[in-house]
Structure 1
Amino acid sequence: MLTSVIRISFFGLCGLLSTVNIAAHAGDDVIRHRIANSNFPVAAAVEVPASMSIVYLSGKLPPIQDLTQDKNSPLAYGGDTKGQTIGVLKAIEKSLKDIGLGLGDVIKLQVFLVGDPALNNEMDMDGFMAAYIQFFGTKTQPNVPARSVLKIAGLANSAWRVEIEATAVRK
Structure 2
Amino acid sequence: MRFKMLFAAVLSAALLPSGAHAQVTRIKSNPQAIILDAAKVGAGAEMLYVSGQLPSPVDPAKPMADVKSVEEMGDTKTQTISALGKIKKILETQGYKMSDTIKLSLFLAPDPKTGRMDFAGANEGFKTFFGTAETPVTVARSTFQVAALVGPYYLIEIEAIAAKPAA
Taking structure 1 as the reference length, the TM-score comes to: 0.82
Q: Distance in 2 between matches of 1:86 and 1:32?
A: 23
AA of the residue aligned to 1:71: V
- Report how many aligned residue pairs link the two structures: 161
Is 2:3 aligned against 1:8?
yes
Give the 3-state SS of the residue equivalent to 1:118 in structure 2.
coil
Note the alpha carbon deviations across 1:50-72, whole angstroms, 9 max, x for none.
22111111110011222399413
3-state SS of the aligned residue for 1:126? helix
SS of alignment partner, residue 163 of structure 1: strand
Contact 1:25 1:49 (C-alpha < 8 Å) held by counterparts: no
Stretches of structure 2 that go unaligned for 5 or more consecutive residues are none
Alignment partner of 2:163: what SS?
strand
TM-score (normalised: structure 2): 0.84
Match of 1:132 in 2: 126
Q: Mind listing any 5+ residue stretches in structure 1 that lack a counterpart?
A: 1-5
1:85 aligns with 2:85: no
Note if 1:142 corresponds to 2:136. Answer: yes
Q: Which residue number corresponds to residue 62 of structure 1?
A: 55
Q: Cα deviations across residues 63-91 of structure 1 (Å, max 9, x unaligned)? A: 122239941311222x2111111111111
Distance 1:26 1:71 in 2: 50
Q: Aligned partners of 1:97 and 1:8: how far apart in 2?
A: 45
State the Cα RMSD in Å: 2.5
Rounded to whole Å, the distance in 2 between the matches of 1:7 and 1:167 is 37
Q: Which has the higher helix share?
A: 1
Contact 2:48 2:162 in 1 (8 A): yes
Instruction: Output the amino acid matched with 1:140.
Output: E
1:45-56 map, 5 Å:
45-56=38-49
Equivalent position SS for 1:116 = coil
Residue 118 of structure 1 corresponds to: 113
Counterpart AA for 2:145? K
Identical-residue share of aligned pairs (%): 34
Cα distance change on mapping 1:11 and 1:88 into 2, 3 Å: same
Structure 1 counterpart of 2:160, one-letter code: A
Does residue 67 of structure 2 align to residue 75 of structure 1? Answer: no
Tell me which structure has the larger Cα radius of gyration.
Answer: 1
Amino acid at match of 1:73: S
